[in-house]
Structure 1
């Protein structure tokens, strides 16, 4: 349903200007008039400008003024657009307003262009086009909305476009109670922003703030109450690189409502949904099912549900009050179509006629359980379903879902979470308890040949039950088999390259139990790839993409929005590989469970058969911001077992499968090469001395603050080595991920550079330890260089990785590491330069710089 969700918040996509005229477009409820006299005075500072760095469309708003009047059922908008570039000429030279002429009047007041101090009046009723676009027809919804559209001619860079209009009228379906939502954010920069609401003092309007939005200031104006927001700081939320839950909205907003309880909304809905009478045609249908079902009311309900779901097609004519008032059941039955409220009222009538307790229930498919955060209001809902009880058992039924199969006792309901049951005396929202969500079982079975002369065979069997069977059945019914097979094939091509389909996709559909099975067969050409690191060795790369697609990697290092999870969802996913000879495999397992999800993985081998078993289940529809750090770590662990590389040398005897997190001998060899090079340089540096040769070398013992510094120097080589291993620089999984990436060459260079940097820091840490213990004269300067190098390399590493991932946000661990580097440098570098203890402790030159007698004494 389109108009069922916030019908009073029309999609006003424009901004305005003008002079008073008396031209009327009678058939479209459109006219050009002076501005209304009820407006509250507002004087914007038109010299203000926003932060021009935020402009992305070539223009900004000098003014966005919105005034609402509850008693006149009116909303006024006044906007000034400032065009600053050619892009703004393209994007800002059109005005459009959506409205419903069935109950709304659109009154334009001004439309002008300011240029070099001149005012050019553009307002011309004859140039408005009125389009009935019906953008929701693709969803089978006819709303009756019109768009008043005006293309402004001769717009130039530097122009100001100013316009204003008023929408008068209210949907007659609603009582004389006020409700609205005031959004205090915007997608474009705004210099002056003003909103206000005028209402009679007799109205008890309550307000609720979201996302730290300020509540309005209340004062008296012309004898009525004025609620206003003035001089607001408009903040545009940051876009996330991952999906957020449907109920999440980061924009600041304030909800207003005169409804004080949910029972008041129920009482309104009872009047709107009252059934007038049961027609003979409807009674005949009821009598037929009663005869077939006998005393079995559950069977009767199943027949009624299947009829409304499958034989009453979905089509909504939601014009005027029918945005919320359903069509009567006899009318829906006669025309065989209706929207969610039409089909729900029809089903309720059919059930009630056989003595089944059934009621409409209002839900919101976006807000879901977050409905409890809002003030009661009849426009908070965008969907109607049915709540029924039979023999003491409760049922939640969505009559708009097609292709649901199986017994009605196990009928699935989507994750709506909360609903308002329209039943006399009901005072609160109800929890929607799903009867059966089902499960998805997928098996990918590979048969790998002994050489590349023959292709590998891949057979995929996917089993869906309950709600997942309903979804995939609907998908197959609405998509051509040709398109389905192409999309399935393209999916595996994206992973394994040269793949062809062996047979057509096979389907087995079962009504009872509610199951749906899909079988696919493919041939993988030249499956074995030459291993560039070991002569004669081949490799096969496999990944559990079905699972990793469900759990995205969060590229943003400082996420500030919840992550959406597919919920409810349960996946059992097995990848089986039939190898050309007996195989060996390291036993691996991963078990993660928290309040949001469960991930389990095991790897096993039986002779030639290798089995990778993944299980995943979601427990909520999101991961909150506070748990995203844990999620990132869990996703990293999953990444280590979700991609495997199997190595095989034909004719070399028993083969061994190498998992993705074994050591990469190439990277280890490269690391040892870097260590050797830096060690040679370190030895050369160790032999240097910086102090003049003295005959009376008598260094102070290490003490004072040097003890604390020494602890860090002693443990530094070990911590650097552990960090290098944990970061995966020596891991085969990291190597495979890099060489299979789209930008593999660039990522490989960055990886080698990072390996070299870590090798340098490790060798340097050992050098510092030796210099410190021997109290060498070069230690202070060498340690100062170490602090500077650590800070520089950490920053360069962030820049390089950020450039690769197109995200320069700082991760918490990076911020911590760099902060520690800065603090350490700020404390210890001045200490090394100024401390008397340092000057008298680190005075020993290298033995080659000492006279013979001093050399003998030192040795």
Structure 2
């Protein structure tokens, strides 16, 4: 065995360590797939621009571009770019003093050509391959996507305000998954102004490159030479593009160009077909899972739901998309075994499982941002960023599902799907884009019910809340509750209501009910609110309370930019209903209201009404969207309608404590005295009518009288209910509440209305009259008096006339009319009753034969016999 002296071994160890460090530094300094090379010979060169006409005051971010140069060589699969930008502020120096170039090492090579800093018109070379660091940053990691892309980073040294940065590089190579086909897109204008821009494309003459302009009319210069066709856009003095915020995801504000070698969507489908149509044999584990579902569920619908839920909930979303796997899904057996995959992996796994159960299913490519606007682009694989599944059941019924959405429940017909708009179905027969039709539903996505228990005007108020979510909102809530503790949820909910009621406290922890069959998720909450009633600022004797549909309000977004040149994004589809019920300690005499607002993009309805007793306030709000955006030219009208909507959300109640404390009793003895006087007066009139004794109908007599029967039983029952209904009306409408009359006649009261007092008195008189009249009719009806037919006609005619005239009078005076729908219903009911029973009591044979009784029946005088004899004798 050889041995070295101790100091020599130490020397060799140091040398080996030094060589290892040098090897690592060399490997780091000369990273794989990154090199320094001269610029390609095929490019169209521009002279470096070092002078600009752009003011620093007209740009953002502390920098602006003097030159932007983007060039493509289709045959050699090279992409060249050359940029020159100026640093105008310290912030620009801070943020733009390092270069970042991303590339895919699986099939791309990065060639650096130059990195120059221009200062005072002189170039400073900063291209040093040894200082280039290559990092694997994985920008999609937070979304569960790993694509192994690398970022070459070069930190520029000694950078100062006013410096110009110039760099040029080429990325060579494209993913082999595209088979060499070319497609790309680029903008011809940016957010800030630019001095010069060049886009240049070189393609073999036999390869047709389609282009489509977007928001621009700048066509390229097309030339053919040396067997190549070139497309060139050379633009100077480009203006800035003013961009509004809150635009829809599908809207690209920048003018640009789409380019593609694909001619039709059918060609794109044919490209994708072999990527998704693997013929591999399924693993035993996957086949066993499929057989288990098939044997457990006896219908295609049940098997579909089971397979979908398995892929959605038990195969987590995680994608390794390096190389061709950015477009080609992994095998279903692998995805099943590892229990994770991206959208295309999960879509193909679901399709494979369904096909094994003889259910027709195909993957379908969509764009989660562009939706229906995919068709505005040129056909290319880059038009899509997501994959879903199209299923066809027996009867040719088509359904669409997203296998990446977890916690979805409900019937297979109603499972939520985002509005993806258009899809490219990966099937041999596909020729064009298909329309994705989400499941239709009329149910609100959010239905909130709030119940306020108010026992007095000083103590705490109890608030109970029940919120039901359906569709996507149920899915979201189900996931939220599955990942958040009830304690934290309760805290969030408590603070939600604390924004309106600062003294709110949680009475019970929130609970929930998940009904998976109907895909509804209901949350229950309970609170106590102290200091619910607050004194008015101008009058401390009056307290007020306000109610607002906060759940609905949370979905109404007010735009930051009102003067717009671009569409405004809206939440869609959105259907929210909120009901607020307030149980009051006393009856309230406040008008009922209805309000509707119709806009091209939404509809809104609010109703406010009181129960017949006046102790229950009911507020109902409903909002439904019609589309996902507002066109720029329609923004002003939309904002006016939205402002009107927001003004309708709050509803207030006021209560004057001075009136409450100033009366020993609420009962109005004056009104009672008036009712007694009216009863006496109307009773006197009824007494006279009782003795009205008209002759029965011609041809009918007491000897042939019939008993009360047939249809006559119905009006008799109505008469019996009339006194009860009138008494209930008088009591429930607070006619005997002194405080009501006092507030109506007090000019300082919020409900001051002398006209309403006059109308209410008239209603009181009419109702007392109807009370007495109905009692009289009951007596006459039972006795089958001959006056009944004419008095019944009068009764029905007077009832209809009174209701109609009362409504017209109240409308004419601008007084509260209660619920319009209920009032109209009352008028129609009275009209129908009059239309039926007035003719009946006039022409019915049964009526004529029944009402024949008289107090003093008429007897014809007989001629004395002796007079006849006398005449005979004289003759």
Per-residue Cα deviation, 1:265-288 (whole angstroms, up to 9, x for no partner): 111111111222232322222222
Pairwise mapping of residues 666-705 of structure 1 onto structure 2 (< 5 A)? Answer: none
Q: Which residue of 2 aligns with 1:275?
A: 278
Pairwise mapping of residues 139-154 of structure 1 onto structure 2 (< 5 A)? Answer: 139-154=143-158
Q: Which residue of 1 aligns with 2:68?
A: 64
CA contact (8 A) 1:23 1:31 kept: no
Q: Which residue of 2 aligns with 1:356?
A: 359
Per-residue Cα deviation, 1:632-685 (whole angstroms, up to 9, x for no partner): 2211221221123322222525899xxxxxx9999xxxxxxxxxxxxxxxxxxx
For the pair 1:628 / 2:608, whether they are aligned, the reply is no
Alignment match of 2:448 (pick from 434, 442, 446)? 442
TM-score (norm 2): 0.69
CA contact (8 A) 1:49 1:62 kept: no
For the pair 1:164 / 2:168, whether they are aligned, the reply is yes
What secondary structure, in the 3-state scheme, does the structure 2 residue paired with 1:386 have?
A: strand
Q: Which residue of 2 aligns with 1:592?
A: 597
CA contact (8 A) 1:450 1:650 kept: no
Q: How many residues align?
A: 636
CA contact (8 A) 1:44 1:192 kept: no
Structure 1 gap segments, 5+ residues each: 1-21, 657-662, 667-859
What is the CA-CA distance between 1:444 and the residue it aligns to?
2.3
Per-residue Cα deviation, 1:544-600 (whole angstroms, up to 9, x for no partner): 333334333345442222222222222111122333422233332222345532211
Q: Which residue of 2 aligns with 1:610?
A: 617
State the distance in 1 between where 2:230 and 2:431 align. Answer: 31
State the distance in 1 between where 2:748 and 2:563 align. Answer: 31
CA contact (8 A) 1:593 1:599 kept: yes
Structure 1, 510-519 or 212-221: larger mean CA deviation = 212-221
What secondary structure, in the 3-state scheme, does the structure 2 residue paired with 1:405 have?
A: coil
What secondary structure, in the 3-state scheme, does the structure 1 residue paired with 2:499 have?
A: helix
Q: Which residue of 2 aligns with 1:314?
A: 317
For the pair 1:255 / 2:258, whether they are aligned, the reply is yes
Alignment match of 1:285 (pick from 282, 286, 289)? 289
Alignment match of 2:201 (pick from 188, 197, 222)? 197
State the distance in 1 between where 2:472 and 2:87 align. Answer: 51
Q: Which residue of 2 aligns with 1:638?
A: 645
CA contact (8 A) 2:192 2:239 kept: no
CA contact (8 A) 2:414 2:439 kept: yes
TM-score (norm 1): 0.71
Distance 1:120 1:300, change over 3 A: same
CA contact (8 A) 2:389 2:403 kept: yes
CA contact (8 A) 2:30 2:129 kept: no
Distance 1:118 1:236, change over 3 A: closer
Distance 1:599 1:584, change over 3 A: same
Q: Which residue of 2 aligns with 1:560?
A: 565
State the distance in 1 between where 2:560 and 2:191 align. Answer: 23
Per-residue Cα deviation, 1:72-110 (whole angstroms, up to 9, x for no partner): 212112122222232222122111111111111111111
For the pair 1:131 / 2:138, whether they are aligned, the reply is no
CA contact (8 A) 2:593 2:607 kept: yes
Q: Which residue of 2 aligns with 1:527?
A: 532
Pairwise mapping of residues 336-415 of structure 1 onto structure 2 (< 5 A)? Answer: 336-392=339-395, 393-415=397-419
Distance 1:535 1:301, change over 3 A: closer
State the distance in 1 between where 2:543 and 2:241 align. Answer: 49
What secondary structure, in the 3-state scheme, does the structure 2 residue paired with 1:57 have?
A: coil
State the distance in 2 between where 1:572 and 1:361 align. Answer: 34
What secondary structure, in the 3-state scheme, does the structure 2 residue paired with 1:433 have?
A: coil
What is the CA-CA distance between 1:170 and the residue it aligns to?
0.3
CA contact (8 A) 1:236 1:251 kept: no
Structure 1, 574-583 or 176-185: larger mean CA deviation = 574-583
Distance 1:555 1:328, change over 3 A: closer
CA contact (8 A) 1:39 1:67 kept: yes
Superposition CA RMSD, Å: 2.5
State the distance in 1 between where 2:135 and 2:749 align. Answer: 67
Q: Which residue of 1 aligns with 2:113?
A: 109
Distance 1:533 1:177, change over 3 A: same
Pairwise mapping of residues 363-512 of structure 1 onto structure 2 (< 5 A)? Answer: 363-392=366-395, 393-436=397-440, 439=444, 440-448=446-454, 450-452=456-458, 454-512=459-517
What is the CA-CA distance between 1:374 and the residue it aligns to?
1.4
Structure 1, 64-73 or 223-232: larger mean CA deviation = 223-232
CA contact (8 A) 1:184 1:213 kept: no
Pairwise mapping of residues 841-852 of structure 1 onto structure 2 (< 5 A)? Answer: none
What is the CA-CA distance between 1:53 and the residue it aligns to?
2.1
State the distance in 2 between where 1:547 and 1:65 align. Answer: 49
State the distance in 1 between where 2:450 and 2:237 align. Answer: 54
Distance 1:150 1:601, change over 3 A: same
What is the CA-CA distance between 1:213 and the residue it aligns to?
5.3
What secondary structure, in the 3-state scheme, does the structure 2 residue paired with 1:598 have?
A: strand
Distance 1:580 1:178, change over 3 A: same
What is the CA-CA distance between 1:27 and the residue it aligns to?
4.9
State the distance in 1 between where 2:453 and 2:260 align. Answer: 64
What is the CA-CA distance between 1:506 and the residue it aligns to?
0.8
Per-residue Cα deviation, 1:350-393 (whole angstroms, up to 9, x for no partner): 11112111111111110001112111111111111111111112
Distance 1:520 1:240, change over 3 A: farther
State the distance in 2 between where 1:259 and 1:108 align. Answer: 31
Q: Which residue of 2 aligns with 1:764?
A: none
What is the CA-CA distance between 1:161 and the residue it aligns to?
1.8
CA contact (8 A) 2:508 2:526 kept: yes
For the pair 1:335 / 2:338, whether they are aligned, the reply is yes
What is the CA-CA distance between 1:426 and the residue it aligns to?
1.1
State the distance in 2 between where 1:563 and 1:533 align. Answer: 41
What secondary structure, in the 3-state scheme, does the structure 2 residue paired with 1:495 have?
A: coil
State the distance in 1 between where 2:310 and 2:140 align. Answer: 25
CA contact (8 A) 1:276 1:328 kept: no
CA contact (8 A) 2:305 2:412 kept: yes
What secondary structure, in the 3-state scheme, does the structure 2 residue paired with 1:614 have?
A: strand
What secondary structure, in the 3-state scheme, does the structure 2 residue paired with 1:428 have?
A: coil
Per-residue Cα deviation, 1:265-313 (whole angstroms, up to 9, x for no partner): 111111111222232322222222222224x222222221111111111
State the distance in 2 between where 1:117 and 1:212 align. Answer: 35
CA contact (8 A) 1:63 1:79 kept: yes
Q: Which residue of 2 aligns with 1:324?
A: 327
State the distance in 1 between where 2:313 and 2:554 align. Answer: 32
What secondary structure, in the 3-state scheme, does the structure 2 residue paired with 1:34 have?
A: coil
Q: Which residue of 1 aligns with 2:522?
A: 517
State the distance in 2 between where 1:485 and 1:194 align. Answer: 57
Distance 1:652 1:265, change over 3 A: same
